[in-house]
């Protein structure tokens, strides 16, 4: 899909804009984007690190659970991450909508996406912030990848891991908890880094729910220490 995106771009087709996840109030939103967005990536680095984590941790979960359960886990967690991202988007957008007069709101709703595509934004802070919240595009498998990290931490909580640049090994459970807290902090304080932190947390949340359900049903075991 990444290569297809590059080829399509040369022919004037923006696959990210079609298959990436838009906020549901945007004119560019379609329900199928909840699935397709996780197969799109914003650059080589984005793609590489997601696929590297998928290989490092996903293969262990697939070996333990089998390919069918692993695929279900991956897809559902990715969809769940997108749902959480939409909810967070609504929390951001609706208060801003109430602050704007009807004319300014109509301008943002009808023209905002095109303004951003031209690399510009509105001078009025409320309009600019709403435009970003309304028309920001979510792409990438990160939500599903974070669910895989969580799954690995829950199945192998005491597995020792070497994480650069930490000079000593840490247990997988502490690695996962630390990552979750970091994402929560960065998402809450509103760090302007174009990263969907709450989508990451959403993937972990849906992953946690699935693992708990499967364990309660006796369909999977663990933790494996």
Domain residue spans of the chain: 16-216
The band of 68, judged by pLDDT with boundaries at 50, 70 and 90, is: very high
Strand, helix or coil at 170? strand
The sign of the CA dihedral 173, 150, 41, 71 is: positive
Residue 82 parent element (H or E): helix 67-99
Q: How far is CA 59 from CA 34, 114, 129, 135, 165, in A?
A: 24, 41, 40, 35, 24
Average pLDDT across the chain, whole number = 89
What's the pTM value of the predicted model, to 2 decimals? Answer: 0.88
Predicted confidence (pLDDT) per residue in 184-211, tens digit? 888 777 544 567 888 999 999 999 999 9
Predicted confidence (pLDDT) per residue in 8-22, tens digit? 999 999 999 899 999
Residue 100 has pLDDT above 80, yes or no: yes
Residue 181 has pLDDT above 60, yes or no: yes
pLDDT at 192: 47
Q: State the alpha helices, DSSP H only, in 100-171.
A: 102-117, 125-135, 142-155
CATH, domain range 16-216: 1.20.1540
Query: How far is residue 49's CA from residue 18's CA, in Å, rounded to a whole number?
Result: 23
The band of 225, judged by pLDDT with boundaries at 50, 70 and 90, is: low
- Residue 224: name the closest of 152, 161, 166 by CA: 152
User: Which residues lie closer than 8 Å to 82 by C-beta, 6 or more apart?
Assistant: 21, 33, 34, 37, 38, 138, 143, 199, 202
Q: How far is CA 61 from CA 93, 146, 149, in A?
A: 37, 13, 10
Predicted confidence (pLDDT) per residue in 130-170, tens digit? 888 888 889 999 999 999 999 999 999 999 888 777 788 88
Copy the structure tokens of residue 18. Answer: 């079609």
Residue 177 has pLDDT above 60, yes or no: yes
Q: Which long-range contacts (CB under 8 A, 24 or more apart) does 49-52 make?
A: 50/140, 50/141, 50/142, 50/145, 51/141
Strand, helix or coil at 160? strand
């Amino acid at each position: 899909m990444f290569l297809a995106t590059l080829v399509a771009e040369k022919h004037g087709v923006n696959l990210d804009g079609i298959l990436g996840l838009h906020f549901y109030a945007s004119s560019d939103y379609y329900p199928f984007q909840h699935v397709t967005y996780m197969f799109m990536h914003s650059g080589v680095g984005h793609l590489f690190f997601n696929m590297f984590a998928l290989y490092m941790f996903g293969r262990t979960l697939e070996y333990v659970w089998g390919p069918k359960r692993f695929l279900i886990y991956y897809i559902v967690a990715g969809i769940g991450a997108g749902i959480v991202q939409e909810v967070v988007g609504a929390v951001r957008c609706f208060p801003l909508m109430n602050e704007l007069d009807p004319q300014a709101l109509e301008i943002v709703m009808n023209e905002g996406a095109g303004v951003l595509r031209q690399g510009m934004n509105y001078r009025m802070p409320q309009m600019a912030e709403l435009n970003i919240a309304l028309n920001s595009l979510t792409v990438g498998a990160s939500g599903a990848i974070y669910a895989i990290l969580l799954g690995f931490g829950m199945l192998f909580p005491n597995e020792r891991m070497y994480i650069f640049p930490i000079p000593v090994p840490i247990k997988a459970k502490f690695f996962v908890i630390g990552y979750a807290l970091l994402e929560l902090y960065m998402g809450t304080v509103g760090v302007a880094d174009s990263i969907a932190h709450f989508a990451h947390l959403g993937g972990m949340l849906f992953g946690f729910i699935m693992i708990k359900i499967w364990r309660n049903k006796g369909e999977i075991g663990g933790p494996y220490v």
